[in-house]
Amino acid sequence: MIPAEFDYLAPDSLEEALEALATGGEDARALAGGHSLLPLMKLRLAAPTLLVDLRRVPGLGGVARENGTVRIGAMSTHHEVSAAGLGLASTAAGTIADQQVRNCGTLGGTLAHGDPASDMPAVLMALEGTITAMAPGGASREIAATEFFKDYLETALAQHELITEIRFPATEGWGYGYEKFNRRQEDWALVAVSALVRQEGGVCSDVRIGLTHMANTPLRATAVEDALRGQPLSPENIAAAARHAADGTSPPADLNASQEYKRHLATVLTQRALTQASR
């Protein structure tokens, strides 16, 4: 399909990009890797009147570690994140689609898109990360990942706000596991589970679980976390905690998986991800 007609700008600075979005009307949209927006435009499910391409904007790339915090520029590609040696975030980014998609798709783009089937939103929730957004005029704010995803394809971003960077505390001392189930290699997750475990003397001192595609937004599996925190990390305790994985979830059913099947997947994948993270 051919998209509806649109104007196109490729500004050289963040200020220009924000200004172009602000003056471009309510149907002006940022363009990052284009791997979610362009398919929607081709299907005519989105018809922006102006695309503001962020690829020439300086300062939106790069991965850096500063004082115990990891900072990732919004235009960093999935490939760059996967190659950055960031444990859970890198492992999950490496499971996104194929190399071609990973070379173009960006972390900022996948977060702004807000698809509950995407890998990185739940990972960022488990990492207790934040998203920095800048509005036209230059005002910047930091939004906790737990507050960012509001509903299906709906985020806390205000109209024409741009994500500039993503931050999360470094995870030295934490074990991690990432389990993704899809019907075909390189597809979106039917369900995926991110696990982070901290242990002292074989006892779980802290744990965080992120769930992908178990609701209209990514979720934290707090019932699993509460069941395991303070317990010895035995296979039995991990299995018992994982049985809470689907508590309070309302997974969207589709042709590939019923709600019941997704709840089963969540339990199995949580047990596996926790086992990996506890090694």
Q: Which residues of the shown chain bind ligand FAD in the complex (CB under 6 A)?
A: 29-37, 39, 54, 74, 78, 96-97, 101, 105-106, 108-110, 112-113, 118-120, 157, 162-163, 187-188
Q: How far is the CB of 227 from ligand FAD (least distance, A)?
A: 28
User: Of 113 and 244, which has the nearer Cβ to ligand FAD?
Assistant: 113
Q: How far is the CB of 161 from ligand FAD (least distance, A)?
A: 7
Give the per-residue SS3 of the chain. Answer: CCCCCCEEECCCCHHHHHHHHHHCCCCEEEECCCCCHHHHHHCCCCCCCEEEECCCCCCCCCEEEECCEEEEECCCEHHHHHCCCCCHHHHHHCCCCCHHHHHHCEHHHHHHHCCCCCHHHHHHHHCCCEEEEECCCCCEEEEEHHHHEEECCEECCCCCCEEEEEEEECCCCCEEEEEEECCCCCCCCCEEEEEEEEEECCEEEEEEEEEECCCCCCEECHHHHHHHCCCECCHHHHHHHHCCCCCCCCCCCECCECHHHHHHHHHHHHHHHHHHHCC
User: Of 36 and 130, which has the nearer Cβ to ligand FAD?
Assistant: 36
Q: How far is the CB of 25 from ligand FAD (least distance, A)?
A: 14
User: Of 31 and 277, which has the nearer Cβ to ligand FAD?
Assistant: 31
User: Of 55 and 264, which has the nearer Cβ to ligand FAD?
Assistant: 55
Residue 210 · residue 193 · CB < 8 Å:
yes
Q: How far is the CB of 114 from ligand FAD (least distance, A)?
A: 8
Q: Of all residues in this chain, which one has the CB nearest to ligand FAD in the complex?
A: 105
Q: How far is the CB of 183 from ligand FAD (least distance, A)?
A: 12
User: Of 53 and 206, which has the nearer Cβ to ligand FAD?
Assistant: 53
User: Of 136 and 275, which has the nearer Cβ to ligand FAD?
Assistant: 136
Q: How far is the CB of 69 from ligand FAD (least distance, A)?
A: 19
